[in-house]
Chains A and B, each alone.
Chain A
Amino acid sequence: MGYQLSRKTADEVFGKLKERYDIFAPKLFQGEGCFSDTDIIRYGKIDSLDEIEYERRSDYSFKEALIAINETLFYFTEDETTVPSCTDKKLLIFLRSCDLHALKRLDAIYLENGPEDFYYKRLREKASFVLMGCSQTCDTGFCVSMGANQTDQYDLYLKLDGDFVLVDCKSEELAGYFQHLETEDCAVTADYVTENKENVTLPKNLSVDSFQNPIWESYGSRCIGCGRCNFVCPTCTCFTMQDIHYRDNSNVGERRRVWASCQVDGYTDIAGGNSFRKTQGERMRFKVMHKIYDFEKRFGYPMCIGCGRCDAVCPEYISYANLISQLAKEEA
């Protein structure tokens, strides 16, 4: 069950929501792409529905709305630590079906994998999610293959349709914003795609023996280790720690956690100067097997949700989708 409201009414609702929520959505950042006069779509706080990039998939995922790229865990003085306070506002995050499936993976890592993560949890509890449907497939996505093309796990579904907005609200908390409005009841089903341009079959028999596969070196020799695939990935959750000692007084500072990439130098460095995975091939193997093998062994479903962002961003045109399809083909 859902309803249709005028764009004007929807804008008024949005204005009301803003009082209580920080609203994050994919936005076009003009001129902020890698190259001159190119744009980038990434998440940012928005002040109106107009700011949302509804047509194209975001280059960077929603995860930065929940897991800051740099997060201060605590400030320290000589004998005290202080945990920074969390925002008073609630969060409303616009995302797509694949991203909602990714959210399940983030929850698994941060909430169901041993002790709950304090920082993730306190933001996650404040967050509600608005599904943006997909009326057509993006170029590199393979969500259908990964079963991430459809979801009913949203708090709100919102479709902008010219002068009208179609809404389906599942959350009691948000429902209040739509009551007493001039709306027309109508059946609203979230748009989703049933076909992608990319179809990916997962290999089913990966094992430690897969380490010997020459495919890792063949892709690894092309990889420049920039980490873009990890940073755009909605399911990559690795971070590293940084202790910052303020320059004016080195006894005072802060501890931060910062996104890390298993493809970038330093990721497996350990005390004593050793490093576990030195070559890009080994790092590629680690990433791919984590996405479609190790994670599944622990949680029962693969980590990758097939959003295709890693394929779209790779400056060396390495296709992760093609790599795993090749692994599957070799098994057959």
Chain B
Amino acid sequence: MGLDINTKKAKKNAFRISKERGIGASRIRVPGGYLKAEILGMVQEIAEKYGNGIVHLTTRQGFEIEGIHLEDMDAINEMLQPIIELLDINQQDEGTGYPASGTRNITACIGNNVCPFANYNTASFAKRVEKEIFPNDLHFKVAFTGCPNDCGKVRLHDFGIIGMTMPQYDPSRCVNCQACVKGCKSLSVNALRVENYKIVRDEEKCIGCGVCITKCPTRAFTRSKQKYYKLTLMGRTGKKNPRLGEDFLIWADEDSIVKIILNTYRFVKEYIDPKAPGGKEHIGYIIDRVGFEEFKKWALEGVELLPETKMKECVYWNGIHFDR
């Protein structure tokens, strides 16, 4: 009797069907790539009991337990339960593994848990968005990075969130050592200059990276209480037209970004190609088809941007076209 497996169901349940007949892989999402070390032991246990002892660290900061027998999926799902609970993944039925796989694991650089450059806690924002958007079958890629260095490579994602801070300058604490000016010039965009021994920040040029703040030896430059983000849209890899995500919002707040991502799910449900293979069409191609204006209308519904948020009225993408 041959193996009788519903591969669509298995894939949705976060199992991979491998090139070797009967063999697959179990995929574990780790929002923000931030996890307690005890989970590693659990992954090891599954890999040694049901897999071939090999684990792949996926490109999206998850684990893929290799070499599992597809008939063991139910047993593996049982063993995944404590991992799912420790990582606080939304789930409908206990012991049944992951309820969806379309919306991909949310990735993040290490962020301000560790990195001196980061402007916010990337892992906790990633987890907040995970709670909002998972489970969902639609193919969404969201990534977080702490600062405009973009170590998280978020411009290759549908939604890229880049941490920003609005430098607060207290001239009465400034000694004109120019560490900020030199730092901004060598590490960032050269947005600072000196006038009458004090610093003038070019607000148009400043990308809110925070280098001036980390360089300041007297706390003349400090971070804004409000945390700001740049939201980049519709970067992608792929066969047709790989491209970097483009800026949509600059100096945006957390709530607006969450709303825009949720609104985009509604937009995609409305406009996704009903004949898309496997129900999977990248959002970027949908926007290319229906137009940015229409996307924007849906995305901004109910969104109240901060007065200081700058929005690009229209977004144009370049990238490489292999499909023309």
Contacts and interface: CB of A to CB of B under 8 A. Distances in A.
B165 interface: yes
A13 interface: no
Nearest to A37: B112
Interface stretch (B49-57, B207-215, B229-237): B207-215
A259 B219 CA distance: 13
Interface stretch (A80-88, A109-117, A240-248): A240-248
Interface in A25-58: 29, 31-32, 34-37, 40, 42
Contact of A226 (B116, B146, B213, B217): B217
B222 A32 contact: yes
A69 B214 contact: no
B214 A259 contact: no
Contacts of A256: 197
B172 A68 contact: yes
Contacts of B303: none
B175 A258 contact: yes
Contact of A70 (B119, B174, B219): B174
A261 to B, nearest CB: 7
A37 B173 CA distance: 20
A191 B312 CA distance: 60
A36 B120 contact: yes
A40 B219 CA distance: 9
A216 interface: no
A184 B214 CA distance: 49
Contacts of B112: 35-37
Nearest to B195: A247
B141 to A, nearest CB: 25
A160 interface: no
Contacts of B214: 34-35
A203 interface: no
A231 interface: yes
A250 to B, nearest CB: 10
Given A34-B214, A37-B112, A226-B215, 8 more contacts: A29-B222, A34-B116, A34-B216, A35-B214, A36-B223, A69-B218, A226-B217, A245-B196
The 7 closest A-B CB pairs, nearest first, are A36-B112, A32-B222, A228-B217, A242-B197, A264-B177, A259-B175, A226-B217
Interface of A: 29, 31-32, 34-37, 40, 42, 60, 68-70, 226-228, 231, 242, 244-245, 247, 256, 258-261, 264-265
Interface of B: 112, 116, 118-121, 146, 163, 165, 171-179, 195-197, 210, 213-219, 222-223, 225
